[in-house]
Structure 1
Amino acid sequence: MTPLKNRLFYGLGLAALAGASLRHRVGGYRNPTDFSPDDWPRAIAHVVDIVLDWRKHLDTRHGAKNLAGLDILELGPGATLGTGVLLVGLGARSYHAIDAFDLAGRTPPGFYRALAEAELPPVFDRARILWAVDALERGRTDPVGYVVTPEFDIACAAGGRTFDLLLSNAAFEHFEDIEHVIAQLAAVARPGATLLAGVDFQTHTRGIRATDPNSIYRFSPSLYRSLGFPGQPNRRRPRDYLEALQRHGWTNAECRPVDVADAVYQAWSTAGLYEPYRDDAADMNVLTGIVLAEKP
């Protein structure tokens, strides 16, 4: 039954990929989440979860990592700059976000006021959050700044700034050339800086994701590229990130698995993947993970 099941999911995955390609080519890249950007309570809960998750992983590595006084860069903040407002609420001196798509530019100012007034965990300093929101409402770029660069020229968008902490959440898998991005980050990272990137290695097509999360790895490179679209997952695996980080001078690099495929799914699905992804070194059990590294 396994070959038949894999042929079935190859067809389902191909149809899902073709549909996603058509949708993005016609409508463009508009919503990075699986909920409406108008759903403010859910959007607020989403950014709170992201920031607390970053803080948890930083604490694990550094022991109660203090963000006070840090200059922070986020790549691909998505639909809002809510993570930046909350990071300022944790003591960050500044937050600068860079994206290739102007998704956060569509966010109504009222969202940030709702975030400031929401019930938040006590770890956040509400006075600092209000300071950041007031600055955004006045059109200031300090302490929260945002630059859109379709070429994703990080050094140019940083405008001469350097950073203590470099973050991303479910963004790196959308970068076509992670090697180039990591090289650019090395140029704007201060000595001792930390890189923390949450990476979603799975298919992003919602119709197939729950039953066949590794669907995108079933196809040859030529077929996958033929159905490409802006932001298509790059299919790079944990080892690709670690090797690229090492080549560009980052140290203590690791990929911490977060969501892991169960053994039953792996047992039947692995034989249906494109050959390079059947190798144990591809770590196909890792569905999402946290990539961490430090700049010496």
Structure 2
Amino acid sequence: MVSIPVKTSPALEDTFYYAAGIGFLALAKLKHLLNGYSTPKPIPNSDYGQCVDYDITTVDHWLSHLAQYCPAQSSIKGKKILELGPGADLGIALYLLALGAEQYNALDVHNLVERVSPQFYDQLFERLQRQDGLEFSSSELREALEKATSRAGHRLNYVCREDFDIAASFEPGSLDLVFSQAAFEHFDDVDRMAQQLGEVVKPGGMLIAEVDLMTHSRWIREKDPNNIYRYNDGLYNLFYFKGIPNRVRPNFYRECLLKHGWKEVLLKPLECLSEPQAGRLSQSWSPKFRGAEHQMECLTFMLCATKA
């Protein structure tokens, strides 16, 4: 049987996605209430091979953007690194140490690394040993991992705090680089985050972070990536839970960083709606988000900055 595509009007389509989005927001809140925060990656934690690939690709992605942003300071050798929102495992930490970082620090609200299977780390070390250009000792990295999971780490320092207090977790002016992958959009107080990062990063230190501005629920994300911007604050906040996308747009990140002692702030769009898509959808967004300053065509972007 041949299916005949049915053309729907934009108004009918908007009504459908508005209603569907509310359903997904309710489902996300219910899931959080029942299970907490357990799956930060877009792949199953049990697929160790894909998780290893994800961690390595993420670090390579950061380093590529660091090299573009500041070619003269693109090496991480001897650097003290902070990752905000490290997620489900310490694969990124171990890869950065294998690349020559002096110290890796992480701050998260949820301690997910306690659940990681040793098989994941076995596959990671196997992969790193096959990779060209790495000079590291497996025994030293395994020791760093063991100390981190027992809360006694120095080279690998994993911190969990429900209050996500950056300034209370690390020494003032002690860090060279801050990395983050799709975590900034979950921070409730972006201004406080920018202020506290300014306290712990040394002058000349840099921030490289990818920010995902889209709806996070899988199906509707593909169909209507800006779905969460359809709702006014009152309705959206009915579905609030800690970690819900904060709906902060790119320019506010810039303003906060500049306000708290950062300079050379770069907002580099990675994924965008086409002009026709953005134009067609603009009237479906809540009035709060319709101004050109919100850059609603931007779906994901790389945020780079230097501490003054």
Query: Does the Cα contact within 8 Å between 2:172 and 2:201 map onto a contact in 1?
Result: no
**Structure 1 ranges of 4+ moved more than 3 A:** none
Query: Does the Cα contact within 8 Å between 1:32 and 1:79 map onto a contact in 2?
Result: yes
Q: 2:305 aligns with which of 288, 293, 296?
A: 293
Deviation for aligned residue 1:268: 2.2
Structure with higher Rg: it is: 2
Match of 1:275 in 2: 287
Match of 1:17 in 2: 25
Say if 1:130 and 1:254 are closer, same or farther in 2 by CA, change over 3 A. Answer: farther
User: What amino acid sits opposite 2:48 in the alignment?
Assistant: W
Further displaced range: 239-248 or 149-158: 149-158
Q: 1:221 aligns with which of 226, 233, 240?
A: 233
CA distance in 2, matches of 1:130, 1:214: 46
User: What amino acid sits opposite 1:49 in the alignment?
Assistant: T
Residues 202-238 of structure 1 show CA distances to partners (whole Å, capped at 9, x for unaligned) of: 0001120001000000001011111111210000000
Say whether residues 1:81 and 2:90 are aligned partners.
yes
Match of 1:48 in 2: 56
Further displaced range: 53-62 or 115-124: 115-124
Query: Does the Cα contact within 8 Å between 1:195 and 1:292 map onto a contact in 2?
Result: yes
Query: Does the Cα contact within 8 Å between 1:77 and 1:104 map onto a contact in 2?
Result: no
Say if 1:142 and 1:112 are closer, same or farther in 2 by CA, change over 3 A. Answer: farther
User: Which structure 2 residue ranges, 5 or more long, are not aligned?
Assistant: 1-8
TM-score norm. by structure 1 comes to 0.95
Deviation for aligned residue 1:159: 5.2
% of aligned pairs identical?
35
Match of 2:212 in 1: 200
Find the residue that maps to 1:213 and give its secondary structure.
Answer: coil
Further displaced range: 210-219 or 277-286: 277-286
Say if 1:124 and 1:262 are closer, same or farther in 2 by CA, change over 3 A. Answer: farther
Match of 1:105 in 2: 114
Match of 1:168 in 2: 180
User: Which structure 1 residue ranges, 5 or more long, are not aligned?
Assistant: none
CA RMSD, Structure 1 to Structure 2 (Å): 1.6
Say if 1:170 and 1:123 are closer, same or farther in 2 by CA, change over 3 A. Answer: farther
Say if 1:57 and 1:10 are closer, same or farther in 2 by CA, change over 3 A. Answer: same
Match of 1:239 in 2: 251
Residues 91-135 of structure 1 show CA distances to partners (whole Å, capped at 9, x for unaligned) of: 11000001011112221344223211116542433x256522332
Find the residue that maps to 1:97 and give its secondary structure.
Answer: strand
Say if 1:129 and 1:47 are closer, same or farther in 2 by CA, change over 3 A. Answer: farther
CA distance in 1, matches of 2:116, 2:139: 17
Further displaced range: 101-110 or 270-279: 101-110
Find the residue that maps to 1:73 and give its secondary structure.
Answer: strand
Q: 1:259 aligns with which of 264, 271, 291?
A: 271
Query: Does the Cα contact within 8 Å between 1:173 and 1:201 map onto a contact in 2?
Result: yes
Match of 1:153 in 2: 165
Deviation for aligned residue 1:19: 1.1
CA distance in 2, matches of 1:29, 1:230: 9
Find the residue that maps to 1:152 and give its secondary structure.
Answer: coil
CA distance in 2, matches of 1:284, 1:124: 41
Give the total of aligned pairs. 295
Find the residue that maps to 1:259 and give its secondary structure.
Answer: strand
Say if 1:95 and 1:224 are closer, same or farther in 2 by CA, change over 3 A. Answer: same
CA distance in 2, matches of 1:86, 1:97: 14
Query: Does the Cα contact within 8 Å between 1:91 and 1:128 map onto a contact in 2?
Result: no
Q: 1:124 aligns with which of 134, 137, 145?
A: 134
CA distance in 1, matches of 2:52, 2:292: 38
TM-score norm. by structure 2 comes to 0.91
Find the residue that maps to 1:232 and give its secondary structure.
Answer: coil
Query: Does the Cα contact within 8 Å between 2:48 and 2:119 map onto a contact in 1?
Result: no
Tell me: higher relative CO, structure 1 or 2? Use CA pairs within 8 A at least 6 residues apart: 1
Query: Does the Cα contact within 8 Å between 2:173 and 2:202 map onto a contact in 1?
Result: no
User: What amino acid sits opposite 1:122 in the alignment?
Assistant: D
CA distance in 2, matches of 1:274, 1:253: 28
